[in-house]
């Protein structure tokens, strides 16, 4: 995120954890977008440039699913730290979602 420059073109859209579109592919990056992206926990931005032209990242787990899983896991680990207990019923859907995503490889 730190190396982004004003007016660089996004090669992929940026989607929130809830599935909303923050920025569409081919949008020009503006400095004012940076704080909004960080607030929404968006730390990956793909740009079109001479080096990356024609390259598509091969994601094992889709970025929006990965963000959601990270958020839920973070919440669970916070609970573990506070309560010193593990609620396996809350971790089970996360493990299932990860396995579901990996099964599509």
**Long-range Cβ pairs for the range 27-36 (8 Å, 24+):** 29/4, 29/5, 30/6, 31/6, 34/1, 34/4
Residue 90 in this model has a pLDDT that exceeds 80: no
Q: Which helix (H) or strand (E) holds 101?
A: helix 88-102
Highest mean pLDDT among 11-15, 38-42, 87-91: 11-15
Is the pTM above the cut of 0.75?
no
Alpha-carbon distance 98 to 65, whole Å? Answer: 9
User: Which of 44, 50, 46 shows the shortest CA–CA distance to 64?
Assistant: 44
pLDDT for position 48: 83
Residue 28 in this model has a pLDDT that exceeds 80: yes
pLDDT for position 17: 66
End-to-end CA distance of the chain: 28
Please give the average per-residue pLDDT across 79-87, as a whole number.
76
Residues listed for the chain? 105
Residue 65 in this model has a pLDDT that exceeds 70: yes
């Amino acid at each position: 995120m730190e190396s982004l420059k004003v007016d660089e073109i996004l090669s992929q859209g940026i989607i929130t954890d809830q599935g909303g579109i923050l920025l569409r592919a081919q949008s020009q990056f503006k400095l004012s977008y940076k704080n909004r992206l960080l607030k929404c926990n968006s730390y990956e931005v793909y740009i079109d440039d001479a080096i990356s032209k024609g390259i598509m990242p091969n994601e094992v787990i889709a970025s929006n699913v990965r963000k959601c899983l990270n958020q839920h896991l973070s919440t669970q680990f916070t609970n573990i730290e506070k309560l010193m207990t593990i609620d396996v019923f809350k971790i089970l859907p996360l493990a299932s979602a990860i396995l579901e995503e990996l099964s599509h490889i």
